[in-house]
Structure 1
């Protein structure tokens, strides 16, 4: 699209779409696309919550708010991915975009995202602020990495070693119990108290490492075409069960780093 922001560093190229929730529409290395391309994929911002918000209900103090149910019976992945974003600054390798939180989110605030690209990595940072009233918030990113890409000699491989898995109830919300990680397939949240770290390998082509200071990550292996590793600042429904309050003096800052290296001589 005409308003897309394009960054370039070395053989890496990144496309950001302000008109589509500031999603990353494309990340190519050596001209090879790593992200799924159908609508709603790529890599989108999750804010002011990540994952499922149970039954669309948000309770703050003695008041309960009702958010639209877009993943029945829950609300999912926040409102920022559906809203308008403004480009605050853009250079050849870095861009900062801003989204004003508005209805249906019941609190006035701002989400700011910065994307910084180098020849061997991408850093994504997010800050969530409030105009005045405190509110609980989470942030994260939902990438859709392609499983099969032309230069690779086999499908995408995932290496991750979480400390625990959040037990998932029949309604797909955490029950409150931590259990030993089960074998995939997964649509599950995991705890990594030392920070998120995961390695994705396209054999014969590229190794991409995901790291973040946050301690929760959702891994979604069910789509045949793609794999998602979603570093986020709290578990599903965490706005209600483990709220991290944003106040005028305490914004929420979230960061994730993707770094890559080739697995063969170039």
Structure 2
């Protein structure tokens, strides 16, 4: 089952049975996202990127997560779960996903999609049913490198305050370095908010923005590029835990705004 939103020349298809991912984003009939069950744009929750050895410490307790990307745990459980649709109109929809085993805490994730004629806003929140716990949330979109056969490659433009130094295990070392040229599978810090522009020459410009200060950029595959706003860096359950408490849920949002260039 899927949910479709439409506004102006934009069409969004949400596959709530397959991780509540955006399986399709079309602008004037042109598909922007890489197609396939594992692609589109999926939520990363209750953590983002890799968690070292699938382990994180909460107080005196060491938790072990399933190693779904050995030797690490990656991208959370939400992308593999069926979500429940809470409401939907022609341009807006909301879905929920209960946190449960093998995540060691009970809670609820809510994801909201709001489509306008020239923008899509995504919001995700995590609340606890009881104990406080560390968590992360974000999105992993796979944007097509080329929008048409023979089209020009997308250009990625951004200015980051720093780059998280990446170790051989693809996890941040804890050192911050000056941003380096790509190709990237790297996390960048933007303390004034994520602001990344994707430009397909003569076709479309799309800006990914968020009030969050963390973004992972991945462009090591020929088919697609990823710009991933998230609430903390990879391995952040250990290095920069953000607590979800009964009075302070975690919330993150991102807006994708597009402009036609043709």
Normalised TM-score (structure 1): 0.97
Q: CA RMSD in A?
A: 1.0
8 Å CA contact retained: 2:18, 2:37:
no
SS at structure 2 position matched to 1:16: strand
Relative to 1, partners in 2 of residues 1:236 and 1:25: Cα closer, same or farther, differing over 3 Å?
A: same
Q: Report what 2:31 is aligned to.
A: 33
Q: Report what 2:169 is aligned to.
A: 171
Decide which moves more: 146-155 or 245-254.
146-155
8 Å CA contact retained: 2:99, 2:107:
yes
Q: Report what 2:17 is aligned to.
A: 19
1:99 and 2:97 equivalent?
yes
Q: Report what 1:219 is aligned to.
A: 217
2:43 to 42, 45, 49: 45
8 Å CA contact retained: 1:56, 1:67:
yes
Cα separation, 1, equivalents of 2:116 and 2:150 = 22
Q: How does 1:53-132 map to 2 (within 5 A)?
A: 53-132=51-130
Cα separation, 2, equivalents of 1:135 and 1:126 = 17
SS at structure 2 position matched to 1:162: coil
8 Å CA contact retained: 1:214, 1:231:
yes
2:205 to 207, 227, 244: 207
Aligned residues: 262
Cα separation, 1, equivalents of 2:164 and 2:148 = 35
4+ residue stretches of structure 1 with deviation over 4 A?
none
Residues 58-81 of structure 1 deviation map (CA, whole Å, 9 limit, x = unaligned): 210100111011111100001111
Query: Which consecutive unaligned segments of at least 5 residues does structure 2 have?
Result: none
Cα separation, 1, equivalents of 2:24 and 2:150 = 18
